[in-house]
Amino acid sequence: MNLYIAFVNIFLYIIVSCDASGTDIALDAKATLLHRIDSLNLLIYTCLLTLTVLTIWVFKHRRVSWLHETGLAVIYGLIVGAIIRYGSSTNEITYIDAHPDPDSKYNLSVPPDMVRFHFPDKIQVTGDASIPNKTYAYSFRGEIVNVEQNEIDLKATFDPEIFFNIILPPIIFHAGYCLKRKYFFRNLGAILTFAMVGTALSALVIGSLMYGFVQLMPASLASSFTFLDTLYFGALISPTDPLTVLAIFSQLKVDVNLYAMIFGESVLNDAVALVLSGAIQNYEKRYSTDGEFEITAFLAAIGDFIGIFSLSLIVGALMGCLTALMTKFTHVRDWPLLESALFVLMSYAAFLIAEVCELTGVVAVLFCGICQAHYTYNNLSADSRNRTKQLFELLNFLAENFIFTYIGVSMFTFPKHHFDPWFIIAGFLTSTLGRAVNIYPLSFLLNLGRKPPIPMNFQHMLFFSGLRGAMSFALAIRNTVSEARQAMLTTTSLIVIATVVLQGGAATHALAYLRIPTGQGQNEESDALPFRDVRNDSQRGSGDSGSEKARLAKLWGAIDSRLLKPLLTHARPPLTETLPAFFRPLARLLTTTRQYTQGDNNGLRRTDSDSDLCIDEPQPVPTSIDPQQLWPGLVDTRISVEGITGSNI
């Protein structure tokens, strides 16, 4: 926005010179112009997204695979950002220094919310203007740390609040809603290890290494970094973004367990990184006097982390279950519009409740999404299922592409970038190392206890899938007051852009090079399709493939199928059969006629699919990049290359 304020000023000069008497008219014109500039900004992003959509179509149509849609959005953003930067003049905001009225009766030690500014009062305005002596309201924006550098336009560009409150929730909810829960729970141990332990470990390693690197750098920068700063950098650069890699995975039908591990890890590590960075900031606040390590504060930070994470999880899960109960015991399903609205409102309420309670809304909305998919989805009418799936798919698509476009644009337009080559190089090195430390040692440990171990080529692919994305960028742009934070933002932006464009583009080749089996999961997925038949349910009920399933998943499965499912959905067996006789009256109350009347083998149970959601997006045309062509003989030949349907250009 800043960039256009230059135009505003030019415009205002014209107005002022034309009609010097009309301060009111000039102000009105300024307001109108600001509105138009806001609209223009939105329009630029809308057009960029339209362009991205059209190019994605061309790429899909022409079967281009060396560049993925997120990489495309970033590149378009970079181009437009450069045009805006070098095509327009400098960004100036008019400002003035002010002092409080000596007669004020103000008795707080914090600055006031508003300033009533008398203008022009004690200054001589040049020119022949006859300016009325008026009073204007000014609202609090923030502290100016470095008065010489005129950092006044600091926060006008991007409001992280919008990102965290509007853009992020649908993306995260969609991730939870689409989670292929069957494979997620099968690989729960590995996923939790990578996401929880791995992310914390990666943050610690990156933080420590960066602190070492920073000490070797020129004194000016080194002095501005504390260990907590570099640790914060470690926390924000650790979460991975799966979009690009997973889109390719699902096109090429890569092994479902690998898919589940990468998806599950990246969904959870976003949440982990958010809570972790919050805990680091809390630690910073408590002991801001010096950068020294204090054991009690450290323990408090760990307590923060665990407490906030688990409470957020509970809030989200409860809201999901509440929605399930509402949809089970009312007949709101007769009006799909009302039902969908209820679903959306309850899910957003989960996010808001967590935020109001100073928990992490993103974690809440993630687990709310998982519960909604697992329970509520079964109670919804067919129309609402379709509607909610499609709605969140679309929101997710638009929000994701907006973020990547924005990352590209902001690389040029954000006024507070700080390009420090050493810090950037160090950032790239340590973030790669951090990913390695996350994957290889933990895989080794996991393989000690894991029945089908994680093979080496899977480990390499897990390492390679460590693209950085939206969450890293959002955490970096949240605070850019100090030079250290600005250097972090610049480095993070560059890492995100490089990994998304280069690593994302090379993912297909990496799959082929590592001989990861593709084109499979067909058979396994067929039983997970919507309305899969009963055979599968009975298999499932009898506890199939005990060797594969983790014990944790088994225990959870028992509670789920005997207590939660019958309670929250219309699924069989009803509570009256699963609960002990003592609870019979209560159980009878919580069982619907529908649960009694339906047979075991029909109707509702079969719709409890954990994968009729979005993972298998409708893909009439898989990408044509057949790894076989790239690396003949290396890949599994089962890869499916289907023809184009309905295309006749």
* Closest approach of a second copy to the CB of residue 603, in Å: 13
CB of 93 to a second copy, least distance (A): 5
User: CA angle at residue 490 from 486 to 494, to 5 degrees?
Assistant: 165
Q: Is 649 in the site for a second copy (CB under 8 A)?
A: yes
CA nearest to 279, candidates 359, 188, 195, 382:
359
Contacting a second copy within 248-287 (CB under 8 A)? 285
What are φ and ψ of residue 218, in 5° steps? -50, 145
Interacting residue with a second copy among 10, 18, 39, 534 (CB under 8 A): 39
- The Cα 3–Cα 5 span in angstroms is 6
Does the footprint of a second copy cover residue 330 (CB under 8 A)? yes
Write out the two tokens for 296: 């009690």
Helix axes 421-449, 227-237, angle to 10 degrees: 60
Taking CB under 8 A as the binding criterion, the range among 233-241, 345-353, 368-376, 462-470 that sits at the site for a second copy is 345-353
CB 450 within 8 A of CB 261: no
Q: Which helix (H) or strand (E) holds 344?
A: helix 336-356
Task: Give the single-character DSSP code of 477.
Answer: H
Return the number of the residue (220 or 647) whose C-beta is nearest a second copy: 647
**Using the rule CB under 8 A, which residue among 292, 294, 577, 617 binds a second copy?**
617
Residues 386-415 that bind a second copy (CB under 8 A): 386-387, 390-391, 393-394, 397-398
* Count of residues in the chain: 649
Applying CB under 8 A, does 589 fall inside the site for a second copy? no
Residues 234 and 203: beta-carbon distance below 8 Å: yes
263: its two tokens: 């998806």
Query: What residue type is assigned to position 622 of the chain?
Result: P
Of 38, 292, 544, 577, the one binding a second copy by CB under 8 A? 38
Residues 104-143 touching a second copy, rule: CB under 8 A, are: 104, 106-123, 125-127, 129, 131, 134-143
- Please, what is the minimum distance in Å from the beta carbon of residue 405 to a second copy? 12
Tokens (6 digits) for 426: 């160090």
Q: Does 241 bind a second copy (CB under 8 A)?
A: no
Considering only residues 348 through 367, tell me which ones interact with a second copy, judged by CB under 8 A: 348-349, 352-353, 355-356, 358, 361
Of 460, 462, 376, 469, residue with least CA distance to 171: 469
Q: Which stretch binds a second copy (CB under 8 A): 225-233, 332-340, 539-547, 631-639?
A: 332-340
**Residue type at 133?**
N
Instruction: Give the C-alpha separation, 523 to 239, whole Å.
Output: 32
Residue 16 in contact with a second copy, rule: CB under 8 A: yes
84 binds a second copy (CB under 8 A): no
Rounded to whole angstroms, how far apart are CA atoms 31 and 35? Answer: 6
Q: Which of 202, 238, 340, 480 is close enough to bind a second copy by CB under 8 A?
A: 340
Provide, rounded to whole angstroms, the least separation between the CB of residue 624 and a second copy.
14
Q: Does 62 bind a second copy (CB under 8 A)?
A: no
Distance of alpha carbon 13 from alpha carbon 126, whole angstroms: 13
Which residue in 3, 56, 75, 476 binds a second copy (CB under 8 A)? 56
448 contacts a second copy (rule: CB under 8 A): no
Q: Which is nearer to a second copy, 56 or 500 (CB)?
A: 56
Q: Which of residues 546-575 bind a second copy (CB under 8 A)?
A: none
Residues 138-177 that bind a second copy (CB under 8 A): 138-144, 147, 152-154, 156, 161, 165
| CA separation for the pair 509, 511 (Å, rounded) | 5
